[in-house]
Amino acid sequence: MVTLAFDVYGTLINTQGIQLTLADMLHDEQQAAAISRRWREKQLEYSFRRGLMEQYQPFSVCTRQALSFALSEASVALSDDQCDQLLMAYRHLPAFPDAVSLLQQLSLMGVDAFGFTNGEAAIASELLENAGLIEDLKGIVSVDLLRTFKPAPRVYQHFLETADSRADNTWLISGNPFDILGARHAGWRTAWVNRADAPFDPWGEAPDVTVPSLTDLAGKLGL
């Protein structure tokens, strides 16, 4: 039986769900959407930087600092209480609807499905519980213990050791191309969830499977 590692932020969980909270504060849906996208971009950038610099801070710190940057860049001033409210809302982001149905299907099939995340385990657990996904996952594997982030090679080995799996028997399912490339480099099978119909990074490597949503993933993996 294969082991499935699902990226959390951007694959199971819709990070752009924060737009509703932002829009309520700003009374401007277009500005809220732009800040939300920029927040996510800087969140990932800060994790990459810290991984390369070997100057680790938890993903929650990267998230807070990215929010500060995105607001400053947009010349938006929010109170400390409003920023705390946004960060708390980040623990209540919605699941993609196709993630709910797929994980339920996999659970009934007895497939080992894990959450695999750059976030701290406790925060990811709370997020997935709030989104109604936690019961259909066998466990959550966080990179926090290693004090670095995906796509560092050792985080993929950490997953294998934690999940008691082998690289050639493990699939990464992710909407993030950097994560797909990291897993391929580690010898894993990969499935890219390309919801935005975007081009893949031109590195001369491609995912084993590409799907527009999680709906048909089980069939594509031959489960």
pLDDT tens for 90-123 read 999 999 999 999 999 999 999 999 999 999 999 9
pLDDT of residue 1: 83
pLDDT of residue 147: 97
| Cα gap 55→219, rounded to integer Å | 41
Task: Evaluate the CA torsion angle 77, 34, 149, 47 in order and state its sign.
Answer: negative
Helix (H) or strand (E) holding 209: strand 209-211
Give Cα 62 distance to the centre of its chain. 14
The 170-174 sheet, strands edge to edge? 139-142, 112-117, 3-7, 170-174, 189-193, 209-211
Place of tokens 């109604």: 132
Mean pLDDT of 188-196: 97
pLDDT of residue 138: 97
Q: Which residues are catalytic?
A: 7
- pLDDT over 90, % of the chain: 98
pLDDT of residue 216: 87
What average pLDDT does the chain have? 96
Mean pLDDT of 37-52: 97
Is the pLDDT reported for residue 31 higher than 90?
A: yes
pTM: 0.95
Burial (Cβ within 10 Å: 0-12, 13-18, ≥19) of residue 66: buried
**Among residues 3, 2, 15, which one has the least CA distance to residue 175?**
15
Is the pLDDT reported for residue 164 higher than 90?
A: yes
